[in-house]
């Protein structure tokens, strides 16, 4: 596309009326990430459920560009851990990201290579700035879809490998019917 463009999110599910790429991630993509591996394997054996979807626009992966799209995490849990995205550092660590929550409820769980962590609540109307160096993962703690709009620099890239290897320091689990942020007992070990 070589002229400025708009897209319309004016529908209950906030699916853009046009996009270039639709990513669908199922349980298979999350092997090793959920703490309760028995629950994970049992769910996977029954059905390789769709966990989240991303609608993207193709733009060049250059610093002057802003990559953008819509992320939709469906509701559910593996054991008592809520459905979530893989999560990643940006390959170019010093790149940031903006999120705007359109629908649903959840958390953005974040951490730095230096050991800091943070969890930001996501609710419709909440905007979030993920600083450079902070890995980020969306977690859906609600009963419906968690929908966010995201924007990040064209040269950022996705480093999934680090999180696949070490996990996130914090997990979001259901305790007495409510979300709670707890330590990941397996953090740092091979997930
Ligand atoms: O750029 C982002 O951080 C988001 O668009 C995510 O890519 C999206 O939410 C899906 O998560 P992940 O890339 O960790 O699978
Ligand atoms: Ni990102």
Per-residue pLDDT tens over the stretch 67-112? 999 999 999 999 999 999 999 999 999 999 999 999 999 999 999 9
Distance between Cα 41 and ligand 1 center (Å): 24
- For tokens 């996977």, the residue is 44
Distance between Cα 55 and ligand 1 center (Å): 10
Which of 147, 149, 135 is closest to 52 using CA atoms? Answer: 147
Judge whether 118 and 134 are in contact, CB under 8 Å: yes
153 lines ligand 1 (CB under 6 A): no
Per-residue pLDDT tens over the stretch 38-71? 999 999 999 999 999 999 999 999 999 999 999 9
Query: For residue 190, what pLDDT is reported?
Result: 59
pTM of the model: 0.97
Per DSSP, the three-state class of 67 is strand
């Amino acid at each position: 596309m070589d002229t400025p463009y708009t897209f319309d999110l004016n529908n209950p599910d906030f699916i853009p009326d046009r996009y270039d790429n639709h990513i669908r991630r199922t349980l298979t993509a999350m092997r090793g990430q959920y703490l309760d591996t028995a629950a994970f394997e049992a769910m996977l054996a029954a059905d390789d459920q769709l966990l989240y979807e991303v609608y993207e626009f193709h733009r060049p992966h250059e610093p002057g560009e802003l990559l953008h799209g819509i992320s939709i995490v469906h509701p559910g849990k593996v054991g008592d851990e809520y459905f979530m995205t893989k999560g990643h550092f940006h390959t170019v660590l010093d790149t940031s990201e903006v999120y705007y929550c359109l629908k649903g409820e959840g958390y953005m769980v974040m951490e730095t290579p230096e050991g800091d962590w943070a969890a930001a609540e996501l609710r419709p109307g909440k905007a979030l700035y993920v600083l450079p160096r902070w890995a980020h993962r969306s977690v859906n703690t609600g009963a419906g879809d968690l929908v966010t709009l995201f924007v990040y620099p064209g040269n950022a890239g996705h480093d999934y490998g680090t999180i696949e290897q070490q996990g996130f320091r914090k997990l979001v689990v259901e305790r007495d019917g409510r979300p709670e942020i707890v330590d990941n007992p397996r953090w740092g070990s091979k997930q």
